């Protein structure tokens, strides 16, 4: 069985993880609401991920809501010593599937408290602000997480869906360990945020790393490289992310063990400079 050979990154300068992690959003019901059709299958995927050498699992309280966090505890606790479980707070869900920003300090404190219980931990390794709330002062939201870090119930603070300006604002309040923004082969609008993360040695977690396979203008080059290397287009996309920057920490998610194994297989695909050039054109 292929093992995760993605190299490592030190989140916050101290939590060493393999750069290919696992995103646990898809281990829920339809529209990321409710339980999966087969919870035993979901648990098997999580257990297989750790057996393959994945030691960074990312989730959020809004996935389910609560379902993903609970499944992680039921599948993996007592947690392996080297496993880093990251979660997020700041989005409220409803039965219509909406994602509603909620960034007031009291809400974030309550969301964090609930995540502690569902994950079965006393401290969350990496807690991320899921999305800035336009109705709440951004500094107040980040300050609430900084205070939780000072209280010892958050190990490291991360941000998600932020601009460079917001990242700079947050860094004046707390040490920012990671940023999670949309980024993939066909979507690079946040190159400036990635550059800032590289400058500050902040982990950059690209969400939607596989773009559901849709990369528009990059499709021809992607198909060519995949065919030449006897790899899937998804493996090439993951290999591209890992090669693109030393701070990228892709977290492809799946509810299928075979897809999971294929994703880990991407860590054995070393793209050449020429192949990277073709994909970057």
Contact in structure between 56 and 22 (CB atoms under 8 Å): yes
Instruction: For residue 63, indicate whether it is catalytic.
Output: yes
* Cα 186 to Cα 216, 221, 240, distances in angstroms: 7, 11, 11
Cα separation of 45 and 230, whole Å?
25
Annotated catalytic residue within 63, 107, 127, 234: 63
Cα separation of 202 and 71, whole Å?
28
CB proximity list for 8: less than 8 A, separation 6 or greater = 16, 17, 18, 19
Phi, psi of 203 (to 5 degrees): -65, 135
Omega into 117 within 30° of 0, i.e. cis?
no
Q: Active-site positions?
A: 63
């Amino acid at each position: 069985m292929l093992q995760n050979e993605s190299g490592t990154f030190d989140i916050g300068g101290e939590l060493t993880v393999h750069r290919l992690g696992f995103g646990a959003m898809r281990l829920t019901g339809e529209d990321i609401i409710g339980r999966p059709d087969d919870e035993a299958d979901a648990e098997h995927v999580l257990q297989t991920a750790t057996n393959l050498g994945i030691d960074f699992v990312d989730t959020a309280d809004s996935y389910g809501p609560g379902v993903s966090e609970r499944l992680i505890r039921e599948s993996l606790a007592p947690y392996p010593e080297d496993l880093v479980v990251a979660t997020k707070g700041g989005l409220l869900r409803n039965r219509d599937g909406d994602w509603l920003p909620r960034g007031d300090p009291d809400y974030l404190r309550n969301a964090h408290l609930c995540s502690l219980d569902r994950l079965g931990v006393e401290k969350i390794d990496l807690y991320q602000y899921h999305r800035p709330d336009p109705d709440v002062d951004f500094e107040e939201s980040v300050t609430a997480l900084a205070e939780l870090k000072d209280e010892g119930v958050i190990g490291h603070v991360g941000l998600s869906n932020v601009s460079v300006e917001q990242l700079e604002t947050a860094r004046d309040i707390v040490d920012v360990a990671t940023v999670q923004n949309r980024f993939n082969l066909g979507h690079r609008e946040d190159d400036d945020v990635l550059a800032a993360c590289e400058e500050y040695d902040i982990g950059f977690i690209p969400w939607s790393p596989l773009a559901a396979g849709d990369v528009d203008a990059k499709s021809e080059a992607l198909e060519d490289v995949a065919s030449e290397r006897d790899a899937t287009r998804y493996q090439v996309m993951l290999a591209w992310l890992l090669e693109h920057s030393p701070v990228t920490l892709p977290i492809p998610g799946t509810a299928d063990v075979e897809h999971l194994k294929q994703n880990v297989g991407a860590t054995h695909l070393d793209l050449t400079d020429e192949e990277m050039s073709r994909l970057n054109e």
